[in-house]
Structure 1
Amino acid sequence: MLGTAAGITLPPASASSHREAPFLTRMPAVDSTDFYMFRSYETGRSDYVTLIANYIPLEEQGAAPNYYAMDPNALYEIHIDNNGDAKEDLTFQFRFNDINNDNKLTIAGKQVSIPLVINGSTDINSPGSSALNRRETYSVSLVRGDRRTGTRQAVANADGGSATFEKPIDNIGNKSISDYAAYAAKHVYNINIPGCNAPGRMFVGQRKDPFVVNLGEIFDLINIKAPATAFDPNAEKAAQDVLANKNVTAIELEVPISCLTNGSEPVIGAWTTASVRQGRLINPNPGSGGASKEGGAWTQVSRLGNPLVNEVVIGLKDKDHFNSSKPVNDAQFLDYVTNPTLPALVEVLFGSAGVKAPSNFPRNDLVTAFLTGVDGVNKPAKVSPSEMLRLNTSTPVSGTQNRLGVIAGDAAGFPNGRRPGDDIVDVALRVMMGRLCTLNIGCKPSDAPSGNIDFTDGAYLDSTYFDMGFPYLKTPLTNSLTH
């Protein structure tokens, strides 16, 4: 099943945060799959930070007839902490709205509502096309201070001033949308952000799932085949990417750095959440009143900062609890970081190949990676330990990205933020097994006997998988053929 310790192929968990907690498996529209934050590397945009929050895991190509939609009864948020106190200072809030145009056809003299989300009359090629029977629009607010009690102002379209934006319909197929890339590009908006002296950019819509992972064999007791003798340099590309044919829905913002930092601290922390109303009544006779009625306080059900935390760090009994929690209260989960179980499980499974878990307790190297940031890389001058993705906005953009980020000498990569091309499965595995100890970060090399092993899930990822400009993520896939 495996070869020498130098060539172990070993994945840790599901596809980043795809279905990472029991309760969220029942609520895919508010399940955040991945969160990215990086200094924009598009030419001429290095004074901006790009934030990407992906939702709705495992979207199938051409999932007719209703396709995927954001929840109009949910609140989607991206939070920024710019002073290290584990509390949000800025929050971008997204609300969605479904519009049923109720297009009709005349059938034997009677006007009858059509059953499809498109009316079949013309190619869909622009926002709000008349060919759409069902549309999604959204609005965005920026909240300064506490997400619920702070000052709230609307984000507006820089071209015309509207506060309502169109979300493109999913990639139905080539007959309905002959050039999906061009159609989606018309939904990239220049935006005026309150209190910001330069416009940003925004896109919300379906994209090719940017994550890669060998998912199926992971949960069969990590049943991955690796070289039987010497380390195979192709091991990192030897496995199947189960998400190769999946899409997600992305919420993307590009914001001037000066609008996110507080002026004195270049490091910002960020995370995304989704909340739903506390109460729901199912309508026994759905009609114009809708299938359900939601009310009560907003209740957070999804949370994502650093990738893979809920999957491979938080214990099963606390996964839903973590999703409902705030970074300021993360002391309650500290034991999962300082005394992690994953390295011990890896040793149980692969001890015969010479694998040993790190021996330094508490695992201060993991506290550095997940809770404070790395000294001299992305740690704020003052920091309250808490789980979030942290980015040093003063770190220059890398001319050539290294998919392994900081542990391979690329200071602009994960865990200093996260770019789409950062192979965080391989990075996270190596860090969990003690790679930071080999770099004398939070521990010493002797604390991690397997710290130099290049653990990999065999599903390769680097920056060439993505576009070099906003919105960076690739056009979503469709199984429709052009006839």
Structure 2
Amino acid sequence: MRKRVLLAVVAAATMGLMVAPLTASASSHREAPLIAEDPLADNTDLYAFQAPDNPNNVVLVANYVPFENPAGGPNFYRFGDDVRYQLHVDNVGDGRSHVTFTFRFRTSTVDPTTFLYNTPYVSGGVLTKRIAFDGTKYLGWNRPQTYSVSMSRISDEDPSSVVLGSNLLTPPDVVGTSSTGDAAYYHGLANAAIHNLDGGIRVWAGQRDDPFYANLGPIFDILSLNPLSATGGEDYLDNENVHSIVLSVPKSMIKGPNDSVIGVWASASRREETVLSTRAPFKASEGSWVQVSRLGNPLINEVVIGLGQKNLFNASRPANDAQFLSRFQNPLLATYFNVLFAQGVDTSNRQDLVDILLRGVNTLNRPAAWSAYADELRYNMDVPDFGFPNGRNLTENVVDTELNAVDGAFCGFAGVIPTCHAGANAGQLHQGVTQDSDHATTQSAFPYLNDPNMP
């Protein structure tokens, strides 16, 4: 267990100390009252890691649209045409986005007279009903979706914005063998939507297997867990899919002026006004963009922020997160641990959690010019493959990690994390779910996340 959840500090010539991974994998599915009503804008997970097949690139993954049942037709899942999806990079340490990648989607309907996701077409004189890719477009997909991606740099010296790609294809969702073929055939359909852009950037957007796994039922049933057992729980996300934006970008493109530490978060925004009508197009939006969802570190709005502030948290910017500081210093979850599990962990003045989640760990991923408490997924690009809290990989188990972090497992460790009185079982807590075959491994090649579960 110690190997799985405790920070290990080892000597490093380039930085004096560096911290090895707290294993992590996080979720923010339906975490606030308003966003629970808006799944297309619901940011469920965020990842940042070195590209397995290109050490010069960092991969950023933002997942949206929680709990996609593979058989959820006839209107299957997609990104929202009226949602602005963004990946933000703070490479200074002030809680502000200095490099922003913006994704906008557009859906069209080929045959509005049918209710089917795909439509038969003639290919080589043969009537074909299975969706295919002809080298430039998907054939037989009735609701194709394309997107654009742009990059903005915000600085006093060089404000700039550039369109990186437009009319980029997304692949169809998995529908069934008649529509999208077997697993091998669908894999080819999905990989046809890999786009290599200028400057060494790669991008992919579409449906994936949700890599998060958690014993959600007991967790939200007043923590009805057996916290000292690694088994016996149920993965309530098993066989569920999400929609993923996967961006591989050269480290040099997002590196800041002072060091190689970046702070990443994802967001979704909608126009401030929505107009409904009894006539086509039935729904329209206008006005300024309003942020409705954001995600940096795992499980923050889920279990750290109180119900009365959850919508506020989703609407606010990381640079303003000092307003939530007391929720990290005095975590309510620690109080629950003491009441339910007799842990005796400190419930106030938890500077250890503040450092891990809002500042960065000293000598690992705290920016040299840090100036703002901010919920960002920090990643020191000079220290790859260490896992959360230094970035986050696709296969890590954050629920166990964060249970133990709240219980004080990392307090005072190796002199780089502030001290606290740890709980009686700190470092030994479990959610009761282990990785199954879908979550233990991922694809070795871009876009890395596993293909979606089939009906």
User: Could you state the TM-score of these two structures normalised by the residue count of structure 2?
Assistant: 0.87
Distance 1:224 1:337 in 2: 23
Tell me the amino acid that sits aligned with residue 184 of structure 1.
Answer: A
Distance 1:449 1:477 in 2: 39
Distance 1:74 1:376 in 2: 38
Q: Say whether the 8 Å CA contact 2:50–2:58 is kept in structure 1.
A: yes
Tell me the amino acid that sits aligned with residue 258 of structure 1.
Answer: S
DSSP 3-state at the match of 2:221: coil
- Determine if the alignment matches structure 1 residue 180 to structure 2 residue 186: yes
Q: Say whether the 8 Å CA contact 2:274–2:283 is kept in structure 1.
A: yes
Distance 1:303 1:350 in 2: 31
Q: Say whether the 8 Å CA contact 1:438–1:448 is kept in structure 2.
A: no
Counterpart position of 1:140: 149
Tell me the amino acid that sits aligned with residue 69 of structure 2.
Answer: E
Counterpart position of 2:201: 200
Distance 1:448 1:41 in 2: 36
Distance 2:212 2:425 in 1: 25
Q: Give the alignment partner of residue 24 of structure 1, picking from 32, 35, 38.
A: 35
Counterpart position of 1:309: 300
Task: State, as a whole percentage, how many aligned pairs show the same letter.
Answer: 37
Q: Say whether the 8 Å CA contact 2:49–2:384 is kept in structure 1.
A: no
- Determine if the alignment matches structure 1 residue 443 to structure 2 residue 418: yes
Counterpart position of 2:131: 124
Deviation at 1:225, TM superposition (A): 4.2
- Determine if the alignment matches structure 1 residue 339 to structure 2 residue 330: yes
Q: Say whether the 8 Å CA contact 1:365–1:441 is kept in structure 2.
A: no
Distance 2:256 2:341 in 1: 47
CA offsets 1:281-336 (integer angstroms, 9 cap, x no match): 10122x3xx12110011000001000100011111100000000001111111110
Distance 1:425 1:132 in 2: 38
Distance 2:375 2:256 in 1: 20
Q: Give the alignment partner of residue 319 of structure 1, picking from 302, 305, 310.
A: 310
Distance 1:63 1:175 in 2: 16
Distance 1:186 1:129 in 2: 9
- Determine if the alignment matches structure 1 residue 478 to structure 2 residue 449: no
Deviation at 1:438, TM superposition (A): 5.1
Distance 1:458 1:342 in 2: 18
Deviation at 1:133, TM superposition (A): 1.6
Task: Report the number of matched residues.
Answer: 413
- Determine if the alignment matches structure 1 residue 419 to structure 2 residue 430: no
CA offsets 1:353-399 (integer angstroms, 9 cap, x no match): xx22225x4211011111111011111111122110000000144xx
DSSP 3-state at the match of 1:468: coil
Tell me the amino acid that sits aligned with residue 249 of structure 2.
Answer: V
Deviation at 1:102, TM superposition (A): 2.5
CA offsets 1:221-273 (integer angstroms, 9 cap, x no match): 222346xxxx6xxx324321110110000000000100110254100001000
Q: Give the alignment partner of residue 92 of structure 1, picking from 101, 118, 139.
A: 101
- Root-mean-square deviation (Å): 1.9
Deviation at 1:130, TM superposition (A): 2.6
Counterpart position of 2:276: 282
DSSP 3-state at the match of 2:305: coil
Deviation at 1:117, TM superposition (A): 2.5
DSSP 3-state at the match of 2:275: strand
CA 1:279 to 1:216, structure 2 compared with 1: closer, same or farther past 3 Å? same
Q: Say whether the 8 Å CA contact 2:363–2:416 is kept in structure 1.
A: no
CA 1:432 to 1:394, structure 2 compared with 1: closer, same or farther past 3 Å? same
Distance 1:87 1:333 in 2: 16
Distance 1:464 1:329 in 2: 36
Deviation at 1:15, TM superposition (A): 7.1
Where does 1:27-426 land on structure 2 (aligned, <5 Å)? 27-42=38-53, 45-102=54-111, 113-121=113-121, 122=128, 123-126=130-133, 128-145=137-154, 151-156=160-165, 163-178=166-181, 179-192=185-198, 198-225=199-226, 235-285=229-279, 287=280, 290-351=281-342, 355-358=343-346, 361-383=348-370, 384-397=372-385, 412-426=386-400
Distance 2:318 2:380 in 1: 19
Distance 1:456 1:201 in 2: 37
Distance 1:150 1:273 in 2: 21
Farther off after superposition, 128-137 or 80-89:
128-137
Distance 1:130 1:56 in 2: 25
CA offsets 1:188-229 (integer angstroms, 9 cap, x no match): 11112xxxxx31111100000100001112222222346xxx
Q: Give the alignment partner of residue 431 of structure 1, picking from 405, 421, 427.
A: 405
Distance 1:452 1:218 in 2: 18
Counterpart position of 1:109: none
CA 1:275 to 1:252, structure 2 compared with 1: closer, same or farther past 3 Å? same
DSSP 3-state at the match of 2:291: strand
Q: Give the alignment partner of residue 467 of structure 1, picking from 433, 437, 443.
A: 443
User: Could you state the TM-score of these two structures normalised by the residue count of structure 1?
Assistant: 0.82
Which consecutive residues of structure 1, in runs of 5 or more, have no partner in the other structure? 1-13, 104-112, 157-162, 193-197, 398-411
